[in-house]
Amino acid sequence: MKNIFVINGGQVFGHSGGRFNATITGITLAFFREHAGFNVQVTNINDPYDPQVEVAKFVWADVVIYHTPVWWFQLPHGFKQYIDLVFTAGHARGIYMSDGRKAEDPTVNYGTGGMLHGRQYMLTTSWNAPKEAFTLPGEFFKQTTVDDGPMFSFHRMNAFVGLQPLPTLHFHDVEKNAQIGQDIDRYKAHLAKVFLKAGCEAAAQHQQQHQLV
C-alpha cells in the first residue's frame, strides 16, 4: 500500500478561481481511489490548515503530488506561505533536521539534512504561456525548460528535504488557448505511466523472487 499526499496549490485570488487545478486535483484523487494499493490524503491551500497536521501528512506520504499554477513565474503567494509555514514547523519533526553541514567543514554537504529520504514527489504546473515560449529560439524563456528555469528552485527545495522527483507534467496556454480535454487525457495517461507501470514492475519482480525461493 502506497501513501499519496495531494496538494492543490491553485489559489483563489483576483481573477483566478483556481478551477483548473481543482479539476486536476479531482482527477488525481479519482485515479488513486479507483486503483487498489493506494491511500490518499489531500490539502487545499485555500482552506484553513494546521501546520503540524500538514507536517504529519508529509511524513506519512510515500509520494507528495503538487498541483500549482505559476503566477509571475513563481508559486502563488498562498502556496508559498503554506510551504513556509509547514516546512518551518517540520524542522526536526520529520521534514528536515538541518542544512546538512558540519561545523568542522561548513563549506560542503549543504542541502543534505532532509528527513524525507526514500520518498518521492511529482509536480504539475499550469501556465498562460504557450509551450512554444519555452522551446522556440528567440521566444521569452530562451529555450529553457520549466523545470530548469522557473521551477528550478522548487525542485531544489524538495531535494533539500530529501524528496526525489518523479516525471513532471506542465499545462500550457490554459487561458487564451485552453485545450482542457486534451490536457485531462494527457494527465490521465501520465498518472497511469508513472504509477501503474511502476506498480506492475514491482509486482512482477516480487512474483519472480517468490518463484526463486
The pLDDT assigned to 144 comes to 98
Q: Does domain 2-212 have CATH number 3.40.50.360?
A: yes
The pLDDT assigned to 91 comes to 98
**Residue ranges per domain, the chain?**
2-212
The pLDDT assigned to 176 comes to 85
Cross-strand pairs, 32? none
The pLDDT assigned to 97 comes to 98
Check residue 177 and report its DSSP letter: S
Q: Pick from 154, 161, 156: which is nearest to 113 by CA? A: 161
pLDDT in tens, 166-208: 999 999 999 888 888 999 999 999 999 999 965 444 434 433 4
Q: Are 13 and 76 in contact (CB under 8 A)?
A: yes
Residues in the chain predicted with pLDDT less than 70, given as ranges, are 197-213
Q: What pTM did the predictor assign? A: 0.91
- Locate all alpha helices (DSSP H) within 35-76, ordered by sequence: 51-60
The pLDDT assigned to 209 comes to 39
State the amino acid at position 69 in one-letter form.
P
